[in-house]
């Protein structure tokens, strides 16, 4: 169906009819009984994008968001940006990856999406993965990622707890899938004391990012699988409080429901919900004031940075700055009463990835800035906010690979993890002279640090 010479038409309606009804005489089966109208529309959009690519044109929004940059390269010299100059170093290379966390004493844990938990010890990758991690196989093709995020308990030095999120099948229906939050300890290279804390239904493994607040509560993002919704928008799963899909959840370190969760006393509501109306919350990070920030993927545009507040509705799919994948003439609504607006909106969509608030000392003029990665373009954005207002956005790196996770290291440097498994580190170049810092500050409107 990528051919230039389709017998039964190459417009959207003809493609949808061919998929739905088939042409048995020509050997094309009918898929109308297996695919919903929404799924057929998605397939038409996918074929249209691939036809453009096959004809030598540009790969546009929908398919580019899935496949990301075709080439990635690291800068070899000094990268010069508005208020900080740096070099990029490769710390370690593992397989396709999702998240990382710093252990005391210089070790780093990295999750490989295939299921391995790897250890980097003082800059060297340990040849053997942690043995016995609780990551089963999954049968659902949508779960390309089995093992996702890793995070340490805030009091890790005392209790040794390490938290994982991973995908699993839910018996007795073998292709029903879910995300599990579990914790355990590592002893002599083995995973021990495993405890399953929470399992919730999911159809994708794009999120399951974790973050801790200052009170020791754990927050977990859950993905919505729909690109558009054929029924009433306010009845879509992310808008339904009984459904864990399209939410940010909040739980205790033991997996229990905190008594002050916003919907804990509402009949029928999933009690772990902290906020709702999300599409794909790919990044979660707290700032030093205890405020939670989130990066979220929209459909064909409409990527967002959100300020997450207790009990709020972030709108998906009722409101969005993105566009449907099927190109039906249905207007997108960008605001509605009682629904939150993003602090930063990205158009065209870079497919936002990991998120961090920089808290180190190595880059003093980056202090408290948000850093958001891009999955499609492989860019790293620095975003400065004032309350709920974006005041500056700078692209500090371009086309270095799909940036999946970002953290400030204990050494004060900024670390990035790409989908391909490259753990990178940004190190300051020679100090910027005071006069240059003042000139840059005048351009950007930021204060000059001592």
Quote the CA–CA distance of 384 and 368 in Å, as a whole number.
8
Percent of the chain with pLDDT strictly greater than 90: 63
Mean pLDDT of the chain: 85
**H or E element that contains 46:** helix 37-54
> Which of the residue ranges 11-25, 244-258, 276-290 would you say has the lowest mean pLDDT?
11-25
The pTM assigned to this predicted structure is: 0.80
Which CB contacts under 8 angstroms, 24+ apart, belong to 309-313? Answer: 309/275, 309/340, 310/262, 310/274, 310/275, 311/262, 311/263, 311/274, 311/275, 312/275, 312/340, 313/239, 313/275, 313/276, 313/277, 313/338, 313/339, 313/340
pLDDT tens per residue, range 228-265: 667 888 999 999 999 999 999 999 999 999 999 999 99
Helical axes 12-21 vs 37-54, angle rounded to 10°: 120
Residue 189 pLDDT greater than 70, yes or no: yes
* Interval 90-141: pLDDT, tens: 999 999 999 999 999 999 999 999 889 999 998 899 999 999 998 765 555 5
The pLDDT confidence band at residue 65, using thresholds 50, 70 and 90, is very low
Which residues of 49-138 form beta strands (DSSP E)?
A: 79-80, 85-93, 97-102, 107-112, 117-121, 124-125
Q: State the burial class of residue 71 (Cβ atoms within 10 Å of its Cβ: 0-12, 13-18, 19+).
A: exposed
Judge whether residue 52 has pLDDT over 60.
no
What confidence tier does 450 reach under pLDDT thresholds 50, 70, 90?
Answer: very low
Look at phi and psi of residue 314 and say left if phi exceeds 0, alpha if psi is from -120 to 50, else beta: alpha
- Segment 13-40 mean pLDDT: 79
- CA 125 to chain CA centroid, Å, is 25
From 3.30.70.3270, 3.40.50.300, 2.120.10.30, 3.30.450.40, which CATH number describes the 94-363 domain? Answer: 2.120.10.30
90: which 2 tokens?
């490769």
Residue 336 vs residue 443, higher pLDDT: 336
């Amino acid at each position: 169906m990528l051919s230039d010479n389709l017998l039964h038409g190459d417009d959207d309606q003809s493609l949808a009819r061919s998929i739905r009804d088939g042409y048995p005489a020509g050997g094309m089966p009918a898929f109308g009984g297996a695919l919903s109208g929404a799924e057929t529309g998605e397939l038409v959009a996918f074929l249209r994008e691939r036809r453009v690519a096959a004809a030598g044109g540009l790969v546009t929004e929908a398919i580019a968001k899935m496949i990301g940059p075709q080439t990635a390269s690291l800068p070899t010299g000094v990268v010069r940006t508005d208020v900080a100059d740096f070099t990029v170093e490769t710390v370690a290379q593992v397989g396709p990856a999702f998240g990382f966390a710093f252990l005391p004493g210089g070790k780093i844990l990295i999750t490989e999406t295939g299921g391995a938990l790897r250890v980097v010890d003082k800059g060297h990758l340990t040849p053997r993965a942690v043995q016995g991690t609780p990551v089963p196989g999954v049968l659902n093709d949508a779960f390309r990622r089995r093992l996702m995020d890793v995070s340490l308990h805030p009091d890790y030095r005392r209790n040794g707890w390490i938290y994982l999120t991973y995908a699993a099948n839910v018996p007795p229906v073998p292709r029903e899938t879910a995300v599990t939050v579990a914790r355990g300890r590592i002893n002599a290279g083995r995973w021990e004391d495993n405890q399953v804390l929470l399992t919730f239904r999911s159809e994708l493994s794009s999120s399951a990012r974790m973050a801790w607040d200052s009170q020791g509560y754990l927050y977990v993002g859950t993905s919505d699988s729909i690109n558009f919704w054929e029924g009433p928008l306010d009845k879509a799963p992310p808008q339904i409080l009984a459904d864990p899909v399209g939410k940010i959840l909040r739980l205790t370190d033991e997996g229990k429901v905190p008594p002050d969760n916003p919907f804990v006393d509402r009949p029928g509501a999933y009690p772990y919900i902290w906020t709702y109306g999300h599409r794909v919350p790919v990044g979660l990070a707290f700032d030093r004031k205890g405020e939670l920030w989130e990066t979220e993927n929209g459909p064909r545009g409409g990527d967002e940075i959100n300020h997450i507040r207790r009990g709020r509705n972030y709108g998906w799919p009722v409101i969005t700055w993105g566009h449907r994948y099927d190109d039906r003439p249905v207007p997108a609504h960008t605001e509605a009463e009682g629904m939150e607006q993003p602090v930063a909106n990205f158009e065209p969509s870079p497919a936002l990835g990991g998120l961090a608030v920089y808290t180190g000392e190595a880059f003093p003029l980056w202090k408290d800035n948000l850093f958001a990665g891009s999955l499609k373009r492989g860019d790293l954005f620095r975003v400065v906010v004032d309350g709920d207002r974006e005041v500056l956005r700078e692209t500090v790196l371009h086309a270095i690979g799909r940036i999946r996770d970002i953290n400030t290291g204990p050494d004060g440097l900024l670390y990035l993890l790409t989908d391909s498994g490259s753990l990178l580190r940004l190190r300051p170049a020679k100090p910027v002279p005071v006069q240059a810092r003042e000139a840059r500050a005048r351009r950007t409107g930021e204060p000059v640090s001592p």
